[in-house]
């Protein structure tokens, strides 16, 4: 039986209303030492849908879980067929104004770091450095047997060779890069094994039902300890993966600021929530700080693709 990801939570009563005034975020950034925690909502303006916002994919789509993926070849065939098709669309996504603003804040030495729950590589493509990918990255694939890593581009090339003419039309592409295909469209899609040992290949991302590596979590906790404040961008904080860092920051007396159109599970720990589109909000913040946001991409695009993660 497939494990259903957490879809929603019940907002606490008595929360203060959200604001559209970005002044608190401006002042926090001006003071420096801000740690950014981003979620799927920062990438929606790049054409990547989110999970739980209005029209979010979890209302119609159950991502592949780690348990299903490792259970048998048929599930992996379905997964790789759908994600291989989704990769072609997903990898073309480009950083938006929100990603570029975060990169500009970093260049201005206003940030202590960036933790992202996303696996799309768009923060790095916009120029942010030393980004912690909480749920892994789509630009690499790992063998579950010998733990060899290989680029997603290389795996995509091998899948193309193994499945010539595989070009079904997907109804939609989900935020995990998984294209919606019927079993008939998946057909007898051929999955390629590890080129080193013949083992099972899996994108180096944290699937639903899988845990974030302990060392990565500890590194993020250390970043929280070293920050002066936490700025959450585009995350509903529905699952503990990101919420734990909000709770840690608030528990240590560090102010938490949230920019998200809809209420989040962390609102009760936040100084304020700003309800504005992220690109607009962060562009306004950058203007008030006198920081130029470059409308260009970094020279190297890490890539994009699939992965079943929570944000």
Residue numbering of the annotated binding site for NAD(+): 39-59, 117-120, 234-236, 278
Which residues are annotated as part of the binding site?
A: 39-59, 117-120, 143, 146, 194, 197, 234-236, 278
Which of 84, 99, 123, 135 is the catalytic position? 135
Contacts of 251 (CB under 8 A, 6+ apart): none
Long-range CB contacts (< 8 A, 24+ apart) of 22-26?
Answer: 22/259, 22/274, 22/276, 22/281, 22/284, 22/285, 22/288, 23/288, 24/257, 24/271, 24/272, 24/274, 25/231, 25/257, 25/259, 25/274, 25/281, 25/285, 26/285, 26/288, 26/289
* Rounded CA separation 240/112 (Å): 22
Residues found in the chain: 311
Active site residue 135: yes
Which residues are annotated as part of the binding site for Zn(2+)?
A: 143, 146, 194, 197
List the catalytic residues.
135
């Amino acid at each position: 039986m497939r494990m259903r990801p957490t879809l929603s939570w019940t907002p606490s009563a008595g929360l203060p209303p959200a604001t559209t005034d970005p002044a608190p975020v401006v002042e926090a950034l001006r003071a420096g030492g801000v740690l950014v925690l981003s979620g799927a909502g920062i990438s929606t303006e790049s054409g990547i849908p989110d999970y739980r916002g209005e029209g979010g994919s979890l209302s119609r789509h159950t991502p592949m879980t780690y348990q299903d993926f490792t259970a048998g070849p048929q599930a992996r065939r379905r997964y790789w067929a759908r994600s291989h098709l989704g990769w072609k669309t997903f990898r073309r996504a480009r950083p938006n104004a929100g990603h570029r603003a975060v990169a500009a804040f970093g260049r201005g030495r206003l940030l202590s770091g960036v933790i992202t729950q996303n696996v799309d590589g768009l923060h790095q493509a916009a120029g942010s450095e030393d980004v912690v990918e909480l749920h892994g990255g789509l630009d690499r694939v790992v063998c579950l047997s010998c733990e060899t890593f290989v680029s997603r581009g290389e795996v995509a090339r091998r899948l193309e060779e193994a499945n010539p003419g595989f070009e079904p039309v997907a109804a939609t592409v989900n935020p995990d890069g998984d294209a919606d295909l019927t079993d008939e469209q998946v057909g007898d899609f051929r999955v390629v094994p590890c080129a080193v040992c013949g083992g099972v290949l899996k994108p180096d991302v944290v699937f639903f039902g899988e845990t974030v590596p302990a060392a990565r979590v500890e590194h993020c906790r250390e970043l929280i300890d070293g920050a002066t404040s936490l700025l959450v961008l585009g995350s509903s904080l529905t699952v503990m993966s990101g919420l734990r860092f909000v709770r840690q920051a608030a528990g240590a007396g560090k102010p938490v600021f949230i920019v998200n159109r809809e209420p989040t599970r962390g609102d009760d720990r936040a100084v304020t929530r700003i309800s504005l589109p992220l690109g607009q909000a962060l562009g306004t913040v950058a203007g008030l700080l006198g920081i130029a946001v470059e409308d260009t991409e970094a020279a190297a695009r890490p890539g994009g693709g699939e992965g079943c993660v929570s944000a």
